[in-house]
Amino acid sequence: MSLPLQGKVALVTGAAKRLGRAVALRLAEEGADVAVHYRTSQPEAQDAVKEIEKLGKRAVAFGADLGSVDEIKRLIDQAGKHFGRLDILVNSAANFLPASMVSTTEEIWDAALDTNLRAPFFCAQAAAPWLRRAQGVIINFADTGGLLGWTGYIPHSVSKAGVIMLTKVLAKALAPEVRVNAIAPGTITMAGDPPEWEADYIKLAPLRRSGQPSDITDSVLFLVRSKFITGHVLMVDGGRTL
């Protein structure tokens, strides 16, 4: 039986660990071959490649600092040429830098905006010729902080608000060939996160729980397969932003 994403190629940024890795594995389970991007986590990226290969899919790991537009161009070129096509770009890599009104520095501001907002744009720009040919799709990662405005994470919130507009403007700029959507997760419980993140979230979210990686991978799959949806930001937050 042919899988839904059989013959498709995905590039997932920040895919060595955590949500990016979960998305990469889920896309492979659905039949896609996957380019696993990492910056520092090479061993974990190689491990993700092995996991994907165990599913019978092709996978390769590529390193790049997404703070550099030259490295972004090289990454997309490597992934496209390795597989000969690119159907799905998932911009998951990000940082999460605490920075208040007082503690925000020029360095923190630039690091947040460069990785979380500038990089998804230049990944999309570099991938656009491949994605247009494949009638492909981009999934960006926003954040509830991009709507709620967290005073302890000012550059982060601004970067993720930017991802929401980036998603809309890219959806118009790349239509009709390429669809562009975003997911705005609430707190997703991951091994190693401080337990108070989950406890705080349970108090704030109407659904009284934090998210699981499967909540995110289900949403990515939904947006990849929804052929009449573009420019949409899907809140996957248990109602936190209501």
Contacts with ligand NAP, residue ranges (CB under 6 A): 14, 16-20, 38-41, 65-67, 92-96, 115, 141, 143, 185, 187-188, 190
Crossing angle for the helix pair 18-29 and 42-54, nearest 10 degrees? 20
- The least distance separating ligand NAP from the CB of residue 104, rounded to whole angstroms, comes to 18
Instruction: With beta carbons less than 8 A apart as the criterion, state whether 205 and 215 touch.
Output: no
Of 17 and 58, the one with the shorter C-beta distance to ligand NAP is 17
Closest separation between CB of residue 212 and ligand NAP, Å?
10
Handedness of CA 71, 73, 76, 80 (dihedral sign): negative
**Cβ-proximal residue to ligand NAP, closest one:** 14
Half-sphere exposure of 2 (CA within 13 A, CB side): 5
Q: Which is nearer to ligand NAP, 134 or 216 (CB)?
A: 216
Nearer to ligand NAP, 154 or 188 (CB): 188
Closest separation in Å from C-beta 230 to ligand NAP: 20
Residues in the chain: 242
Q: Which is nearer to ligand NAP, 57 or 160 (CB)?
A: 160
Strands (E), 74-136: 88-91
